[in-house]
Amino acid sequence: MSVLHLAVKFNAGEPIGSFCSRLAAAYGQSSASYFAELFHFSFRGLLNGEPRDVAIFSEITGIPVGRLQNRLIVQEGNKVRVNGHLFARRFVDPLRCKLCPQCVMERLGLYRNCARPHAKVEWMLKPMRCCSVHDCELITFKGRTWQESADFAWVVRENLKLIERGADRVEPTSFHRYLSSRLMEGVGGYNWLDALPLQTAIHFTETLGAVIRHGIEPDLETLTTSEWIDAGREGIAVTSAGLDAVERVLGEIASRPMSRGRNLLTTAFGRLAVEVLEFENDPGYREIVSVMNAVAAD
């Protein structure tokens, strides 16, 4: 099989589905799925990391299989591996396409070439709610199928007028910059947080921020995007300062008037404890539970 002349570049931090989508658009195809059929592989299979489909895509692009596999969002049992980090499925959203309208508009160019903008791996994480570059909310689109949602050039083309309108600006937040840096580079610059698995670090930080802002029993399911962004900002101000700061704030939370809970942790910390205990058997959470237990026992 002949190697294609690559009309678009495989960008750093770009998911494999986005790259395939932009190749399809660059060669005038209506969708990544149809483009894949022309070369006898499955776009769905490529997204799922099926060895045959990845191998064919590697052959036609000339990009080594190993480099392509590094950009896959792979399900492993009830977990999802994103850029080497494991997440519970609730923290990853492959069924929708999130994007920063400013990132997209900067790359579209004068002639609105939908093959030029690319998706970013970090946008697939639910806690990534604003652009770490432009400090604006990410906007979300959903195709008729999850393959359409992963077909980035198709999403841009079909929603261009909405993308051109832009999104709400937000105050700069170090939470989203930390998440981006940690996901893509492996370190975020905060020693205590960096020692925790990424899911544990961001989950605890955001939930702690929500409790600080909304009380011991926040209704997390009804928080708006802007409220979650504020929660991340509040939480990272504490967790980035290290264990002493975390223990101090947990002590303040535990000293508030509280309703009866099922155990010491839920009595002292309410929804924060519920969230942490849900993943108690996952890496990193036992360390958080130990800290909370120690504070609650004082």
pLDDT-derived band of residue 266, with 50, 70 and 90 as boundaries?
confident
Q: What is the pLDDT of residue 259?
A: 56
Cβ atoms of 34 and 19 closer than 8 Å: no
Residues 42, 109 share a domain: yes
Q: Which of these ranges, 230-239, 260-269, 283-292, has the smallest mean pLDDT?
A: 260-269
Q: Are residues 230 and 188 in the same domain?
A: yes
186 and 150 within one domain: no
**129 and 44 within one domain:** yes
pLDDT at position 256 is 78
Q: What is the pLDDT of residue 2?
A: 63
Contact, 54 vs 48, CB < 8 A? no
In the predicted structure, residue 255 carries a pLDDT above the cut 90: no
Same domain, 193 and 249: yes
In sequence order, the 6+-apart residues with CB closer than 8 A to the CB of 76 are 86
> Residue 107 and residue 134: Cα distance in Å, rounded?
14
What number is the average pLDDT over the span 2-20?
A: 88
Q: Could you tell me if 56 and 123 lie in one domain?
A: yes
Percent of the chain with pLDDT over 70: 97
**Total structural domains in the chain?**
2
Domain end point (choices 143, 164, 185)? 164
End position of a domain, from candidates 105, 139, 164: 164
133 and 213 assigned to the same domain = no
pTM over 0.75: yes
How far apart CA 40 and CA 160 sit, in angstroms, is 30
Domain membership flag for residue 9: no
Find, among 278, 232, 298, the residue nearest to 288 by Cα. Answer: 278
221 phi and psi, to 5 degrees?
-70, -20
Q: Establish if 3 belongs to a structural domain.
A: no
DSSP states of 39-106:
TT--HHHHHTT-HHHHHHHHHHHT--HHHHHTT-EEEETTEEEETTEEEEGGGB-TTSEEE-HHHHHH
Residue 92 makes CB contacts below 8 A (sequence gap 6+) with: 73, 80, 82, 124, 125, 126
Q: Is the pLDDT of residue 260 over 60?
A: no
For position 94, what pLDDT does the model report? 78
pLDDT for the residue numbered 27: 94
pLDDT reading at 241 higher than 80: yes
Range of the domain at 227: 174-297
User: Bigger pLDDT: 179 or 77?
Assistant: 179
- Domain C-terminal end among 164, 196, 220: 164
In a domain, 43, yes or no: yes
Give the per-residue pLDDT at 258: 59
**Inside any domain, residue 191:** yes
Q: Which range scores top for mean pLDDT: 61-75, 148-162, 263-277? A: 148-162
Q: Is 7 contained in some domain?
A: no
Where b means 16+ CB within 10 Å and e means fewer, 176-199 reads bbbbbbbbeeeebebebbeebbbb
Express each pLDDT in 161-186 by its tens digit. Answer: 999 999 988 887 899 999 999 999 88
Residue 205 phi/psi, 5° resolution? -60, -50
178 and 291 within one domain: yes
Confidence label for 143 from pLDDT (cuts 50, 70 and 90):
confident
In a domain, 82, yes or no: yes
In terms of domains, do 25 and 61 share one? yes
User: What was the pLDDT predicted at 274?
Assistant: 95
Half-sphere exposure of 123 (CA within 13 A, CB side): 27
For residue 249, give the nearest of 212, 215, 297 by alpha carbon: 212
Confidence band of 222 (pLDDT split at 50, 70, 90): very high
Euclidean distance between the first and the last CA atom of the chain, given in angstroms as a whole number: 68
Average pLDDT for residues 22-26, to the nearest whole number? Answer: 96
User: Which residue is it, tokens 């432009």?
Assistant: 134
Q: Is 232 strand, coil or helix?
A: helix
| Residue 57, in any domain of the structure | yes
Q: Quick one: pLDDT at residue 263?
A: 67
Quick one: 37 and 160 in the same domain?
A: yes
User: Is residue 247 included in any domain, yes or no?
Assistant: yes
Per-residue confidence band for 189, with pLDDT thresholds at 50, 70 and 90:
confident
Average pLDDT, the chain: 92
CA–CA dist 149, 240 (Å, integer): 34
Is pLDDT of 288 > 60?
yes
Residues 31 and 158 in one domain: yes
Q: Are residues 188 and 146 in the same domain?
A: no
Q: What is the pLDDT of residues 83-118, one digit of tens each?
A: 889 999 999 987 789 999 999 999 998 889 999 999
Confidence tier at 156 by pLDDT (50, 70, 90): very high
Residues linked to residue 81 through DSSP beta bridges, in sequence order: 74, 86
